[in-house]
């Protein structure tokens, strides 16, 4: 495959026939790859892989072994599996750190009374996805203070604070990666590894740039999770768990259908049968099963993501956002500002719209219009709405502008 210069923006006009038949309105999504809006739009090549996968039976653990080879190639990790999203990946990563190859512990989860069960996190990294860690039965212990978060001081988490928190009941450290936290990762890895404990990195939304597929593994992370349904452009119900072979194997066996007979079970090469004292039951991850179609779709999307021409895509996005900004000069209540891609911490160009009036009120009007339109609301408390081009079909740009001009008339 040669480099892909475009994002998965289907060239054919949108049909949406299935949504029409179901009576569900199609939405113009300028808010990004949000799960509640269905995640990424998928390229025809991804859909083709899913259709082909649907036509025959395979051994899922063999398919996950093949996935492991593809993911290892793209990330530099020893191994990797397709999960049902990054949040599921966090639960499985936690389960792997809690149980390892211990079948007794696998069977006990989420009851962790008989095993080390504390997962350390910097207080500044706490977020609503850490429920996925508690789901496996772990207890999150947040450490350090929040001076940077509150602006009260200059210091982040320091090695001595991690040292002081590690005890015999500690199972792992969870690090939430962002452009701002990356500088703290080496010290966390060095300190936690000194105690022989693993570090899980939540890098769910840290793509693009594609280099980040390797960044955290290169730094020494034991496990890393990525979303498949965000920038990678895979099925929205997929994710990647990559890292140490033993931990990825433990995660896999805790996710698989284990209604197998001991006489005939032939596990995937990722699963160390000698390390297992017996055959595990259905594990904590059994509810996170990933279909063969989703695995195939994610792998093709990942290959395409790695081969993409990121510069060309960013230029296309920028040109479209500039055209939208120009057209919005007809909307007196909106002031558009391009947030350019800088390749440092801004990897996707955005258009910020400052609203004269209430951004929340405008956003609500847009969402209830026809067609419904979604803009990013992360800065709405500052009266700013954001246009993210990643899930905006180029043939919807003009509709978006029309809806914005109409809806913002009543904002002033
Ligand atoms: C999106 C996100 C997740 C969840 O990813 P899914 O693939 O939707 O499960 C977890 N952590 C962070 C930081 C995220 O941004």
Instruction: State the Cα–Cα distance between residues 327 and 45, nearest whole angstrom.
Output: 33
Mean pLDDT of the region 153-168:
94
- Is residue 48 one of the residues assigned to a domain? no
Q: Write down the residue that tokens 């043939």 correspond to.
A: 395
Judgement on whether residues 374 and 266 belong to the same structural domain of the protein: no
Count the alpha carbons within 13 Å of 376 in the hemisphere toward its beta carbon. 20
Domain end, chosen from 280, 307, 334, is at 307
Judgement on whether residues 337 and 407 belong to the same structural domain of the protein: yes
- C-alpha 152: how far from its chain's center? 31
Tell me the pLDDT band of 177, cut-offs 50, 70 and 90.
Answer: very high
- Is residue 325 one of the residues assigned to a domain? yes
- Is residue 189 one of the residues assigned to a domain? yes
Judgement on whether residues 218 and 301 belong to the same structural domain of the protein: yes
> How far does residue 354's CA lie from ligand 1's centre (Å)?
27
Q: Write down the residue that tokens 């207890």 correspond to.
A: 139
Atom of ligand 1 nearest to the CA of 132: 10
Mean pLDDT of the region 226-254:
98
Would the pLDDT of 7 be above 70?
A: no
8 Å CB contact between 40 and 229: yes
Ligand 1 lined by 267 (C-beta under 6 Å): no
pLDDT at 12: 62
What mean pLDDT is reported for the chain? Answer: 94
Ligand 1 lined by 37 (C-beta under 6 Å): no
The sign of the torsion formed by the CA atoms of 108, 114, 118, 119 equals: negative
Judgement on whether residues 254 and 123 belong to the same structural domain of the protein: yes
Ligand 1 lined by 241 (C-beta under 6 Å): no
> How far does residue 32's CA lie from ligand 1's centre (Å)?
13
Instruction: State the Cα–Cα distance between residues 398 and 320, nearest whole angstrom.
Output: 10
Residues 6+ apart with CB under 8 A from 18: none
H helical segments located in 139-200: 147-150, 159-165, 185-194
Percent of the chain with pLDDT over 70: 97
- C-alpha 136: how far from its chain's center? 19
Judgement on whether residues 363 and 230 belong to the same structural domain of the protein: no
Judgement on whether residues 332 and 258 belong to the same structural domain of the protein: no
Ligand 1 lined by 85 (C-beta under 6 Å): yes
Mean pLDDT of the region 401-405:
97
- Six-digit token string for 288: 């996170």
Mean pLDDT of the region 11-30:
88
Name the residue of 202, 229, 231, 390 whose CB sits within 8 Å of the most ligand 1 atoms, as the mutation to test its pocket: 202
Ligand 1 lined by 239 (C-beta under 6 Å): yes
Q: How many domains does the chain have?
A: 2
Would the pLDDT of 239 be above 90?
A: yes
Domain end, chosen from 253, 273, 307, is at 307
pLDDT at 324: 98
Q: Considering only 6-15, 187-196, 331-340, 341-350, which range has the smallest mean pLDDT? A: 6-15
pLDDT at 410: 73
Instruction: State the Cα–Cα distance between residues 171 and 2, nearest whole angstrom.
Output: 43
Q: Locate the DSSP E strands across 315-388.
A: 334-339, 350-355, 373-375, 384-387
Instruction: State the Cα–Cα distance between residues 213 and 72, nearest whole angstrom.
Output: 10
Residue-wise pLDDT tens digits, 57-91: 999 999 999 999 999 999 999 999 999 999 999 99
8 Å CB contact between 347 and 378: no
Tell me the pLDDT band of 157, cut-offs 50, 70 and 90.
Answer: very high
> How far does residue 126's CA lie from ligand 1's centre (Å)?
13
Mean pLDDT of the region 196-212:
97
Judgement on whether residues 348 and 369 belong to the same structural domain of the protein: yes
Judgement on whether residues 113 and 256 belong to the same structural domain of the protein: yes
Q: Considering only 10-19, 107-116, 316-325, which range has the smallest mean pLDDT? A: 10-19
- Six-digit token string for 13: 């006009």
- Is residue 5 one of the residues assigned to a domain? no
8 Å CB contact between 321 and 341: no
Q: How many CB atoms lie within 10 A of CB 1?
A: 9
- C-alpha 241: how far from its chain's center? 10
Q: Phi-psi region for residue 281, left (φ > 0), alpha (ψ -120 to 50) or beta?
A: beta
Mean pLDDT of the region 347-373:
96
- Is residue 11 one of the residues assigned to a domain? no
Would the pLDDT of 6 be above 60?
A: no
Instruction: State the Cα–Cα distance between residues 94 and 68, nearest whole angstrom.
Output: 19
Judgement on whether residues 22 and 62 belong to the same structural domain of the protein: no
- Six-digit token string for 381: 């408390």
pLDDT at 2: 42
- Is residue 156 one of the residues assigned to a domain? yes
Separation in Å, CA 242 to CA 34, 35, 81? 22, 21, 7
CATH of the domain at 370: 3.90.1150.110
Residue 7, classed as helix, strand or coil, is: coil
Instruction: State the Cα–Cα distance between residues 249 and 244, nearest whole angstrom.
Output: 8
Do the strands 373-375 and 350-355 form a parallel or antiparallel pair, or are they unpaired? Answer: unpaired
Q: Look up the domain containing 334 and give its range.
A: 17-36+309-411
- Is there a cis peptide before residue 95, judged by omega within 30 degrees of 0? no
Mean pLDDT of the region 37-60:
97
- Is residue 216 one of the residues assigned to a domain? yes
pLDDT at 309: 95
Domain end, chosen from 279, 307, 335, is at 307
Ligand 1 lined by 165 (C-beta under 6 Å): no
Ligand 1 lined by 34 (C-beta under 6 Å): no
What DSSP assignment string belongs to 265-282? ----TTS-TTT-SS---S
Nearest to 233 by CA among 395, 7, 409: 7
Percent of the chain with pLDDT over 90: 90
Classify residue 227 by its DSSP letter: E
CATH of the domain at 163: 3.40.640.10
Residue-wise pLDDT tens digits, 79-128: 999 999 999 999 999 999 999 999 999 999 999 999 999 999 999 999 99
Q: How many CB atoms lie within 10 A of CB 324?
A: 22
Q: Considering only 111-125, 150-164, 381-395, which range has the smallest mean pLDDT? A: 150-164
pLDDT at 248: 98
Judgement on whether residues 231 and 320 belong to the same structural domain of the protein: no
Tell me the pLDDT band of 411, cut-offs 50, 70 and 90.
Answer: low
Judgement on whether residues 267 and 157 belong to the same structural domain of the protein: yes
Tell me the pLDDT band of 149, cut-offs 50, 70 and 90.
Answer: confident
Separation in Å, CA 113 to CA 109, 151, 197? 9, 38, 19
- Is residue 31 one of the residues assigned to a domain? yes
User: What are the φ and ψ backbone dihedral angles of 405, each rounded to 5 degrees?
Assistant: -65, -45
Judgement on whether residues 296 and 367 belong to the same structural domain of the protein: no
């Amino acid at each position: 495959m040669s480099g892909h210069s475009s994002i998965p923006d289907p060239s054919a006009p949108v049909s949406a026939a299935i949504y029409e038949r179901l009576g569900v309105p199609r939405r113009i999504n300028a808010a990004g790859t949000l799960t509640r809006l269905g995640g990424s739009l998928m390229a025809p090549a991804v859909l083709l892989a899913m259709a082909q996968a649907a036509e025959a039976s395979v051994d899922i653990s063999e398919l996950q072994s093949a996935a492991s080879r593809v993911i290892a190639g793209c990330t530099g990790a020893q191994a990797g599996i397709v999960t049902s999203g990054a949040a599921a990946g966090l639960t499985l990563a936690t389960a792997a750190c809690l149980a390892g190859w211990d079948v007794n512990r696998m069977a006990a989860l989420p009851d962790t009374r008989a095993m080390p069960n504390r997962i350390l996190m910097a207080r500044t990294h706490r977020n609503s996805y850490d429920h996925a860690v508690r789901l496996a039965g772990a207890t999150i212990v947040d450490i350090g203070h929040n001076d940077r978060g509150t602006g009260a001081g200059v210091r982040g988490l320091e090695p001595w604070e991690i040292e002081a928190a590690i005890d015999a009941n500690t199972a792992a450290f969870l690090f939430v990666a962002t452009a701002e936290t990356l500088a703290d990762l080496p010290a966390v890895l060095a300190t936690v590894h000194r105690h022989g404990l693993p570090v899980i990195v939540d890098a769910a939304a840290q793509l693009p740039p594609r280099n980040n597929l390797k960044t955290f593994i290169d730094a020494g992370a034991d496990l890393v999770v990525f979303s498949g349904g965000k920038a990678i452009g895979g099925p929205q119900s997929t994710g990647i768990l990559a890292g140490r072979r033993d931990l990825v194997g433990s995660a896999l066996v805790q996710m698989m259908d284990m209604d197998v007979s001991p006489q005939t079970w032939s596990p995937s090469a990722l699963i160390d049968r000698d390390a297992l004292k017996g055959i595990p039951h259905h594990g904590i991850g059994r509810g996170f099963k990933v279909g063969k179609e989703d695995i195939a779709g994610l792998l093709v999307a990942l290959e395409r993501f790695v081969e993409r021409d990121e510069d060309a895509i960013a230029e296309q996005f920028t040109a479209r956002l500039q055209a939208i900004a120009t057209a919005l000069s007809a909307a007196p209540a909106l002031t558009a500002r391009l947030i350019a891609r800088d390749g440092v911490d801004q990897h996707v160009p955005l258009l910020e719209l400052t609203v004269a009036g209430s951004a929340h009120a405008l956003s609500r009007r847009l969402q209830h219009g026809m067609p419904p339109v979604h803009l990013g609301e992360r800065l709405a408390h500052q009266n700013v709405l954001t246009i993210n081009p990643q899930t905006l079909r180029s043939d919807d740009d003009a509709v978006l502008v029309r809806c914005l001009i109409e809806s913002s008339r009543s904002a002033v």
